[in-house]
Amino acid sequence: MAFETIIVEIEDHVALIKLNRPDALNALNQQLIGEVMTALTEADANDKVRCIVLTGSEKAFAAGADIKEMSEMSFADVNLSDLFGNLGDGIQRIRKPIIAAVSGYALGGGCEVAMACDFIIASDTAKFGQPEINLGVIAGIGGSQRLTRAVGKAKSMDMNLTGRFMDAEEAERAGLVSRVVPAKKLMEESMAAAQKIAEKSLIAARTAKEAVNRSFETTLTEGLLFERRSFHALFATEDQKEGMAAFIEKREPQFRDK
């Protein structure tokens, strides 16, 4: 499918999805949301893809939902269309690992989309924020929930109530991002991380993602049981035999997703 607001490239088993509305700092309009969901769904179903990287431009990952598109909407418009609901839920349904490579602004819906990915690699220019309060609304796809789980109540309240931005260094300290890299190295480092994941057994990688995500949804006892059963289940795979044999034979494993 031909996209107009994103660019998709598949290289060495990694699908790179780049948000591409430079004139609007990658603001998330309905077309872009539809295209991102199509690209993610296609990547999830494509046997050649083993990991996904979602990124924006140097200046902005995404400056939020498109305010110009939203400004005249009524309660009925946003309620009946479940505005943006499909995006947050949709990203969460993707089973392959997704890395958000964030440079510049990741605000409002932009921050929320990044947080819906599995982890965030940030450039040292990244700025995260939930400034919806300045527009008379609040976060709508996870800014009050995923952010709180990531950075705790104090910082989440601060960001959601004052609308202030968090820079990359603070975001790393607070646990919102997994690493911070120089802006020039963002794509190199993010693609290298994706390549590393792409080398693993896809069955194991997807199971690891499911297990970590489960920790947000359940009690510790239930989560530990889920993890243990998942661990046991992986002994039914050829990839487990291959991974352990390769270690013993001091060679690189050749995973076949079986």
Residue positions annotated with a catalytic role: 65, 109, 112, 132
CA 174 vs CA 108, 147, 163: distances in Å: 18, 10, 17
Asked if 126 touches ligand HXC (CB under 6 A), the answer is no
State how far the Cα of 107 lies from the Cα of 123, in Å rounded to an integer.
15
Nearest distance from C-beta of residue 14 to ligand HXC, angstroms: 27
Name residues contacting ligand HXC, limited to 218-247 (CB under 6 A): none
Binding segment for ligand HXC among 38-46, 63-71, 177-185, 214-222 (CB under 6 A)?
Answer: 63-71
Rg (CA), the chain: 19
For the chain, give the number of residues: 258
Asked if 131 touches ligand HXC (CB under 6 A), the answer is yes
Residue 2: CB atoms within 10 A of its CB come to 4
Site track 22-61 with ligand HXC (rule: CB under 6 A), x = hit: --xx-x----------------------------------
Binding segment for ligand HXC among 105-113, 182-190, 210-218, 233-241 (CB under 6 A)?
Answer: 105-113
Which strand ranges, in their side-by-side order, compose the sheet holding 127-129? Answer: 60-62, 105-107, 127-129, 166-167
Nearest distance from C-beta of residue 36 to ligand HXC, angstroms: 14
Kindly write down the DSSP assignment for every residue of 66-105, as one continuous string. Answer: -HHHHTT--HHHHHHTTTTHHHHHHHHH--S-EEEEE-SE
By the criterion CB under 6 A, which residues form the site for ligand HXC? 24-25, 27, 63-68, 83-84, 105, 107-109, 131-132, 135, 139-141
